Amino acid sequence: MEELSQHIANAIILGSSYAILGIGLTLIFGIMRVVNFTHGELYALGGYAAYMVSTVLGLNFFLGLPVSILVGALVGAAIEFILLRRIRTSDMDTGMLVMIGAGIIILNSIQLIWGGVAKSVNTPFSDVPVVVGPVSVSSLRLFVLVAALVLIAATYFLINRTKLGKAMRATFQDPDVASLMGVNIGVIYTATFAIGSALAAAAGALLGPVFLVTPSMGNMAALKAFAIVILGGLGSIPGATIGGFILAFSEEMGAGYISSGYRDAMGFLIIIMVLLIKPTGLFARSERVG
Amino acid sequence: MKRFLPIAFVLVLVTLPLWMRDPYYLHMLVTTGIFTIAAMSLNLLLGYNGQLSLGHVAFFGIGAYTSALVSLGFDVDIFDYTIVHDPWPPVLGFFIAILVTGVCGYLIGKLSFKVRGAYFVIVTISFAEVVRLVALNWMDLTQGPLALTNIPPIVLGAKSIGYVSILGKVPSYYLVLGVAALAFLLISRIVHSRYGRAMIALKENESLALACGIDVTKYLVFGAVVSAAMAGAAGSLYAHYIRIVDPEIFMFMNTVTMVIMVITGGKGTLYGPIVGGLIFGILPVGLRVVAGPEVQWIIYGALMIAILLVLPEGIVPAIQRRFGLSAGNESKERPPADKSLVRGEQAL
């Protein structure tokens, strides 16, 4: 029982970061119909931003998160402005391939700048875990949980309560009508891609200090983000939020009770099961498939 | 011109080891050839079926592992049973690899063609990743990260005529060239058959193809099976040539390499993957002098984006249009003879 509650606590912490990853990816897909293959690279970039702030420059650790969000947003906006703008009318496959090309460029640039050796991010937190009843959690992980929940709440607020969010939702429903109503679609697309990228970078800045920062850290993160959005349904933000937690739970339980070697395989098993049972995902509208 | 170009190309390929003695260049050509076969197989899915499969390396890797394991032998415990397999000749490994990857292609096709577009792409990536994790973790069978080593080279021949061991650069070159030629002929036969026309029809307009009575899933799965089996053959050649296989073979970058070859050369054309394969096989030879691996990849990525933005159809269709060389193998073209059209309609 103690073991189980520990697994649940770990899953909630991990799931909050997964949810951020998933929301970023699903937001971009829902509004722009683009599968963002740079998502993993932006995640890694976020991790490196935190590393630069905290370890290399020796600044305050808590500055790492906002800096990585800024870096993610800027790089995302640049990708949208330079590449995606040109292929908006092309088919989805072209968009995916262009994004793969962009992903390769970012990944190898990261490797060129920081090298292939894993880096660790300095944190001000002590190694002594916080013990609550049967569960013990490191204070760093508690910070990750709180920060992630704040970011999720902020994203929901942005989309549901602000004017920009309203324009984004309108574009999601029908870009042409939204454009007729005076929404500047180009600006919305740039903003959407910047926000989605910023969320990926934020997830990297949160999980980078927990694990290690490596150039290829984004590969697995991107695949997990894909699993999350398939589970929740591409384009569904609540789906991605819940999907993130479901993935974290199945990974924790799978690693704890089946085999730790197949921890990363859980996401893909979920994908296969979702496809067999409900191909549209848990929350998406049925038109998304086919 | 139309006839002369392919003949000259084949002549150059056949005589190449006679005047190209440098083992490094020959090695590049052998690996280029292997990847070109894989790219040709991917083209069947990407160019003719119109499905962007980004898990293609899974079949390549399964082919490599199957062939290596058949010729090395293995013993594994599955639940309470121990399966012991004694080493078989590598040639059998080659054919069993084709069989196994074909079956995998069928199963994955059946599962993943339930969905289209972005879902399909993600499913195929996930499949490759699952296979990689199995190769990494099933230590009994695959040795995990320790890799399968000392894979024997392919031995060709029969008792009556003697045996040739395909060891070294020149024999490997001719073996790969032979398999590539077979793969090319097979694809060209398929593309110009009723199956090929059905595949192209459902690529152009799936609903319309469905309305015309084309069994969409059947032709998609057919494409997947042939494509997977061909990639498996390429993987088997790779295993017996490089003679070591580890889970790194399933890297996403290997799929990306194949995709770049197909896209650059021209998807949905017979010559596209060959042109793309040669470009990206030979490019590293020139690039490695001036740039490290990271810069090379950055150049590839930029090149891929540039091709997609400037020449979305690829090099081969662009050249054909420029010089008016409609070689009769364009996917976009109508079937050349009226006869075949009529036959196709009757059969449908």
| Element containing residue B156 per DSSP (H, E) | strand B155-158
- Looking at residue B23, its pLDDT comes to 83
A83 touches chain B (CB under 8 A): yes
What is the interface pTM, i.e. ipTM, of the complex? 0.84
Split at pLDDT 50, 70, 90, the class of B338 is very low
| Element containing residue A70 per DSSP (H, E) | helix A64-82
Asked if A104 and B137 come within 8 Å (Cβ–Cβ), the reply is no
A99 touches chain B (CB under 8 A): no
**Residue A189 class from Cβ within 10 Å (0-12 exposed, 13-18 middle, 19+ buried)?**
buried
Please compute, for residue A182, the number of CA atoms within 13 A of its CA located in the half-sphere on the CB side. Answer: 3
A interface mutation test: which of B134, B142, B259, B305 has the most A CBs within 10 A? B305
Split at pLDDT 50, 70, 90, the class of A87 is confident
**Distance from B313 to chain A by nearest Cα, in Å?**
10
**pLDDT tens by residue, A218-265:** 888 998 998 898 888 878 888 899 999 999 999 888 888 877 777 888
A35 touches chain B (CB under 8 A): yes
Q: Which residues contact B294 (CB under 8 A, 6 or more apart)?
A: A108, A109, A111, A112
Nearest by CB to residue B294, choosing from A112, A226, A234, is A112
CATH topology of domain B4-13+26-335: ABC transporter involved in vitamin B12 uptake, BtuC (1.10.3470)
Measured between beta carbons, which residues in chain B are less than 8 angstroms from residue A229? 122
Comparing alpha-carbon positions, the chain B residue that sits nearest to A112 is B294
- Looking at residue B332, its pLDDT comes to 46
A276 touches chain B (CB under 8 A): yes
Say whether pLDDT at B325 is over 70. no
- Calculate mean pLDDT across residues A42-53: 94
Q: Which amino acid belongs to residue B108?
A: I
Instruction: Specify whether the CB–CB gap between B316 and B261 falls below 8 A.
Output: no
Question: Does domain A2-114+134-288 sit in CATH 1.10.3470?
Answer: yes
DSSP A62: G
B287 touches chain A (CB under 8 A): no
Measured between beta carbons, which residues in chain A are less than 8 angstroms from residue B305? 83, 98, 101-102, 105
**Distance from B23 to chain A by nearest Cα, in Å?**
29
B136 touches chain A (CB under 8 A): yes
Asked if B304 and A101 come within 8 Å (Cβ–Cβ), the reply is yes
**pLDDT tens by residue, B46-101:** 888 888 888 899 999 999 999 999 888 877 777 777 777 778 888 888 899 999 99
Prediction pTM value: 0.86
Say whether pLDDT at A101 is over 80. yes
- Beta-carbon contacts below 8 Å between A and B: 123
Asked if B133 and A265 come within 8 Å (Cβ–Cβ), the reply is yes
Q: Characterize the bridge pairing of strands B74-78 and B81-85.
A: antiparallel
Q: Any bridge partners for residue B156, and if so which?
A: B164
Distance CA A6, CA A11 (A): 9
**pLDDT tens by residue, A50-66:** 999 988 888 888 888 99
**pLDDT tens by residue, B115-174:** 887 888 888 888 888 888 888 888 878 887 888 887 888 777 766 776 777 777 888 888
- Looking at residue B267, its pLDDT comes to 86
Domains of chain A by residue range = 2-114+134-288
